[in-house]
Amino acid sequence: MKPTRANFAQEARFAKSLCGDLPKSALRALEALIRQHNISTMNGDVTYLGNGWYVTHSGLLGIARRKRCVGIQVRPAVEFCDPAASRWAFKATVYKSRTCKGFVGFGDADPSNVSPLVHGAEMRVAETRAVNRALRKAYGIGICSVEELGSLSESAQSSRKAKKLAPQAANGNYGGPKVRDHLCQIIRQHQLDPTLVKSYAIDFCGTKTLREATREQVENFVQHLEDWAEKDRNALLCQLNSYLGSKEGAA
């Protein structure tokens, strides 16, 4: 199905609700991405950081699925790996069809080029980066992926952290309306399970219920969740899935 003008308007509204006022150049770039690759900000396919759009891992997989990708082969580049130093490198090959010779991408990760939030998960980050690069080559995605940014995106993230949220009613309301709305946006954008997020928030804040958490604790959790979701959604999903056993109780 080809994108329509109504789709563009809806996507632009959603992007503005997440990022605030966007320059016309950013909106034109978003429209071009939607036209060319049929991606969606509402599905979390792309995100806006600093002054540009970045595709996400889930967005690239969605493109591959729609284009009927026949397979992705991933292998460690052993000569560049040093497990003792948490340094990993992978080679990924994407096959667009059964006769395709393959599009190759390499990805590496070590403690120096990943966020402190995902230290200990360098191997998974390296694999994701390799797959992303191979997929971008295979399907002509000119923009970089979020997962490839690593610690280079810290400056963009820190600028957002500097923006203080206005004081809100603290307990019993997820830190206040603005904090709650921000959390809902993150859950919707990255397609997270709200119940698992709630369980994780309680654990993060160190309280028995979320109502007992202070506004500052909830704000810190929301920022932490957003940072992790944007830098390594797969690792975040692994963390959230660890609360599956308590999901029924949390609900």
Percent pLDDT > 90 in the chain is: 37
Q: What is the mean pLDDT of residues 162-189?
A: 60
Q: Which residue has the tokens 């709200």?
A: 194
Q: What confidence tens digit (pLDDT) does each residue in 130-155 have?
A: 999 999 999 999 899 989 886 544 44
Q: Is residue 197 part of a domain?
A: yes
Q: Does one domain contain both 73 and 15? A: no
Q: Is residue 157 part of a domain?
A: no
Local confidence band at 71 (pLDDT 50, 70, 90 cut-offs) = very high
Query: Which residues have C-beta within 8 Å of that of residue 158, sequence separation ≥ 6?
Result: none
Q: What is the mean pLDDT of residues 192-206?
A: 86
State residue 90's pLDDT score.
97
User: Whole-number mean pLDDT of the chain?
Assistant: 83
Q: Give the residue among 16, 2, 60 at the shortest CA–CA distance from 185.
A: 16
CA 62 from centre of chain: 14
Split into its structural domains, the chain has a count of 3
Local confidence band at 212 (pLDDT 50, 70, 90 cut-offs) = confident
Query: Which residues have C-beta within 8 Å of that of residue 121, sequence separation ≥ 6?
Result: 114, 232, 235
Q: Does one domain contain both 183 and 111? A: no
Q: Which residue has the tokens 């804040």?
A: 205
Of 120, 147, 174, the one marking the end of a domain is: 147
Local confidence band at 248 (pLDDT 50, 70, 90 cut-offs) = very low
Q: Is residue 152 part of a domain?
A: no
Local confidence band at 46 (pLDDT 50, 70, 90 cut-offs) = very high
Q: Does one domain contain both 90 and 111? A: yes
Of 101-110, 202-211, 241-250, the one with minimum mean pLDDT is 241-250
Q: Is residue 153 part of a domain?
A: no
Range of the domain at 130: 65-147
Local confidence band at 217 (pLDDT 50, 70, 90 cut-offs) = confident
Q: Give the residue among 175, 145, 187, 148 at the shortest CA–CA distance from 46.
A: 145
Whether residue 3 has pLDDT greater than 80: no
Q: Which residue has the tokens 């460690």?
A: 76
Of 54, 73, 88, the one marking the end of a domain is: 54
Q: Does one domain contain both 177 and 228? A: yes
State residue 189's pLDDT score.
85
Whether residue 35 has pLDDT greater than 70: yes
Classify burial at 28, counting beta carbons within 10 Å of its beta carbon; exposed 0-12, middle 13-18, buried 19 or more: exposed
Q: Give the residue among 19, 61, 41 at the shortest CA–CA distance from 190.
A: 41
Q: Is residue 88 part of a domain?
A: yes
Q: What is the mean pLDDT of residues 112-116?
A: 85
Whether residue 172 has pLDDT greater than 60: no
Greater pLDDT, 158 or 27: 27
Query: Which amino acid type is present at position 98?
Result: R
Q: What confidence tens digit (pLDDT) does each residue in 74-95 have?
A: 999 999 999 999 999 999 999 9
State residue 110's pLDDT score.
93
CATH number of residue 79's parent domain: 3.30.160
User: How many CA atoms within 13 Å lie on the side-chain side of 28?
Assistant: 3
